[in-house]
Amino acid sequence: MNQTALSYRYDGTFDGLMCCVFESYMKKELPTEILGPDAVEENLFGAKNILTNEANAQRVLRSIPAKIGHEAYDLVQLAFLTCLPKKELAILSFLRQGYHYGPRIMGFAGNETLYRLTEAVKHLQKEAHLLKGFIRFSIHQNVLIAAIGPKNFVLPFLARHFSERYPDEHLLIYDENHHMALVYRPYESAIIPMDEFRAAPPDKEEAAFRALWRTFYDAIEIKPRHNEKCRQTLMPKRYWKYMTEFAASTECVEITQHSTAFRPHPPVPATGKRRSGPHGL
């Protein structure tokens, strides 16, 4: 299989990427890049549009555990959720090597592609773990609402965590970097595209609880032992804008636009009541 000057363009879904893998093998070609639907094309020779075909995607998915193993299958699914640059090409490269070497590929400690994917997945899992504690909900019309801005696509991890923690609540978590939202009502959840949030003032009770939470946060600090570097290490600064204790105002959020289109992502492999401040703790 020789590398060509051709680029692939797919719809941005996991099944779509698996169809790119299928196309690469069927046509015996290795693209120089795999572009999402909104990516800017840099290749002068144009991009080949790869249509998502469920049968082709399932054929590739069945082949991964059969020929490379279930550990590789989980790695590929998780790697797709990461913010790794050119992750699609890395996944394609890993699968090509996996089909050649079989399950042994997972033990190749010096393999650059495997290392990049593994490190990206560790970053994804770490960020998902942090956000389980850093998310701050507000109550708006009896719905728990929160906004986040993660680098990786962590909503599938948060769906399982918060649906188990608040099974009888209605909640919405908006990912402003990926323009997607986790919506949950008792015993049902979905991850859907969502255009944006618009700031709206909290009601009196919500504003009072936010103020109480900020007071509590300030009061428990031992001032002589304040260590800003340590705080930013344990609580990275890029999360602060979404956290009640660091908020400069008492804004809350409400939905203004909502797309009904659905872009599926791979599921995550199996491995207090309600107030604004402490929900993420």
| 3-class secondary structure, 50 | coil
45 vs 280: which has the higher pLDDT: 45
In tens, the pLDDT along 246-261 reads 876 444 444 444 444 4
Q: What is the pLDDT of residue 233?
A: 83
- Residue 91 has a CB neighbour count (10 Å cut-off) of 25
Please, are residues 17 and 44 in contact by the beta-carbon 8 Å criterion? Answer: no
For 176-225, how does the pLDDT look when each residue is reduced to its tens digit (9 = 90+)? 999 999 999 999 999 999 988 765 678 888 888 888 888 888 888 888 88
- 229 phi/psi in degrees, rounded to 5: -65, -40
Average pLDDT, the chain: 86
Report pLDDT for 265. Answer: 61
Q: Facing residues of 61 across strands? A: none
Query: Letter for the amino acid at 8?
Result: Y
Residue 97: closest CA among 81, 84, 115: 115
If you average pLDDT over residues 62-67, what whole number do you get? 97
Bridge partners of 185, per DSSP, are 188
- What residues are paired with 174 via a beta bridge? 147, 181
Looking at residue 5, its pLDDT comes to 75
Rounded Cα distance, 92 and 17, in Å: 9
Return the pLDDT at 22: 97
Asked whether the whole model's pTM tops 0.95, one would answer: no
What are the distances in angstroms from CA 18 to CA 15, 58, 75, 235, 253?
A: 5, 8, 14, 36, 36
Q: Give per-residue pLDDT as tens, 154-171.
A: 999 999 999 999 999 999
Cα–Cα dist 243/229, whole Å: 18
Give 70-101 pLDDT, tens digit per residue: 999 999 999 999 999 999 999 999 999 999 99
Q: In one letter, which amino acid is 137?
A: F
Amino acid 258: pLDDT: 44
- When pLDDT is averaged across residues 117-130 and rounded to a whole number, the result is 97
